[in-house]
Chain A
Amino acid sequence: MSADLTIAAIYADLLGTYGDNGNAATLLHRARLHGLSADVISIQPGDPVPSQADIYLLGGGEDTAQTAACSALRADGNIRTAAERGAAILAICAGYQLFGEYFPDSTGTRSPGLGLLDIRTDRLAQRAVGELAAAPVPAADSTEPPLFSERFTGYENHAGGTVRGPSVQPLGRVLAGVGNGDGTEGSVSGHIIGSYLHGPCLVRNPEIADQLLRWAVDRELPALEEQAVSELRAERFRTVLGH
Chain B
Amino acid sequence: MASGKLPWRTRSALAAGRAASALSRATGRGEGMVIGGQVILRIAPEAIADLARNRVAALVSATNGKTSTTRLLASSLEQAGPVVSQPTGANLSTGIVVALSDADPTARAVLEVDELYLPQIMQQTAPQIILLGNLSRDQLDRMNEVAMIARRWRDMLAQHPDVHVVANADDPMIEFAAAEHAHVSWVAAGQAWASDSAVCAECGTLLRRDDADWSCPGCGRRRPPPNWSLLADPWRAVDPAGREYDLSQLGLPGRFNAANATMALAATAALGADPAVGLLRMQSVDSVSGRYGVFHVGALNIRLLLAKNPAGWTELLDIMPPAPTPVIITINSDYADGRDPSWLWDVPFEKLRGRTVVATGFRRRDLAVRLTQANIDHVVIDNPYAPDAPLPPGMRDLPQVDCAATYTAFQQLRTSGVPA
Contacts and interface: CB of A to CB of B under 8 A. Distances in A.
Interface string A121-135: 000000001110000
Interface string A27-71: 001000000000000001110000000000000001111011000
A21 B345 contact: yes
Contacts of A235: 365
Given A67-B204, A68-B206, A129-B141, A13 B342 contact: no
Given A46-B206, A64-B199, A232-B369, A157 B340 contact: yes
Contact of A155 (B205, B340, B369): B340
Interface string B371-411: 01100000010000000000000000000000000000000
B345 A20 contact: yes
B372 A62 contact: no
B369 A157 contact: no
Contacts of B147: 62, 64
A19 B365 contact: no
Contact of B198 (A14, A22, A226): A14
B199 A65 contact: yes
A241 interface: no
Contact of B345 (A44, A45, A157, A200): A200
B199 A19 contact: no
B235 interface: no
A14 B195 CA distance: 8
Chain A, interface size category, equals 35 or more
Interface of B: 137, 140-142, 145-147, 195, 198-199, 204-206, 339-340, 342-346, 365-366, 368-370, 372-373, 380
Given A155-B339, A228-B369, 19 more contacts: A13-B198, A16-B195, A18-B343, A19-B342, A25-B373, A44-B206, A45-B206, A62-B146, A64-B204, A68-B204, A68-B205, A129-B142, A130-B141, A131-B339, A155-B141, A157-B340, A200-B345, A226-B372, A228-B365
14 contacts: A19-B346, A21-B346, A22-B344, A22-B345, A62-B147, A65-B199, A68-B204, A157-B141, A198-B342, A203-B345, A203-B370, A228-B365, A228-B372, A232-B368
Which 7 residue pairs across A and B have the least CB separation, nearest first? A22-B345, A19-B345, A19-B342, A13-B198, A232-B365, A155-B340, A18-B342
Interface of A: 12-14, 16-22, 25-26, 29, 44-46, 62-65, 67-68, 129-131, 155, 157, 198-200, 203, 226, 228-229, 231-232, 235
